[in-house]
């Protein structure tokens, strides 16, 4: 998908979302609840993704860009007799 097509698609979704928000005060309670549930689901997925990515990056890199030496595997060699 080209960047222009992607931007048009995002703009169309944004316009539909704004139209839905404008109609929300006049909507039925069931529609308001269903819209809230969908919105809550989207926000939850985004927050969990951000938390997962930040935890993964912090445990791997130590948040300073260098790999964490504590998680490096070391080879164990048998003791000589």
Mean pLDDT of 62-70: 56
Q: Rounded distance, CA 21 to CA 36, Å?
A: 11
Q: Rounded distance, CA 7 to CA 75, Å?
A: 50
Q: Decide: 22 and 35 in contact? Cβ < 8 Å.
A: no
The answer as to whether 12 is a domain residue is: yes
The answer as to whether 46 is a domain residue is: yes
The answer as to whether 71 is a domain residue is: no
- Give the containing element (helix H, strand E) for 60: helix 29-61
Q: In the predicted model, is pLDDT for residue 60 greater than 70?
A: no
Domain extent, residue 30, equals 2-55
The answer as to whether 42 is a domain residue is: yes
Q: In the predicted model, is pLDDT for residue 43 greater than 90?
A: yes
**How many domains does the structure of the chain reveal?**
1
The answer as to whether 74 is a domain residue is: no
What's the helix, strand, coil split of the chain in %, to 5?
A: 75, 0, 25
The answer as to whether 31 is a domain residue is: yes
Q: Rounded distance, CA 69 to CA 81, Å?
A: 30
């Amino acid at each position: 998908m080209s960047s222009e097509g992607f931007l048009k698609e995002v703009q169309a979704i944004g316009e539909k979302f704004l139209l839905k928000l404008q109609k929300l005060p006049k909507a039925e309670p069931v529609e308001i609840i269903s819209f809230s549930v969908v919105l809550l689901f989207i926000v939850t997925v985004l927050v969990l993704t951000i938390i997962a990515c930040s935890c993964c990056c912090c445990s791997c890199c130590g948040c300073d860009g260098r790999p964490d030496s504590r998680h490096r595997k070391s080879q164990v060699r048998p003791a000589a007799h």
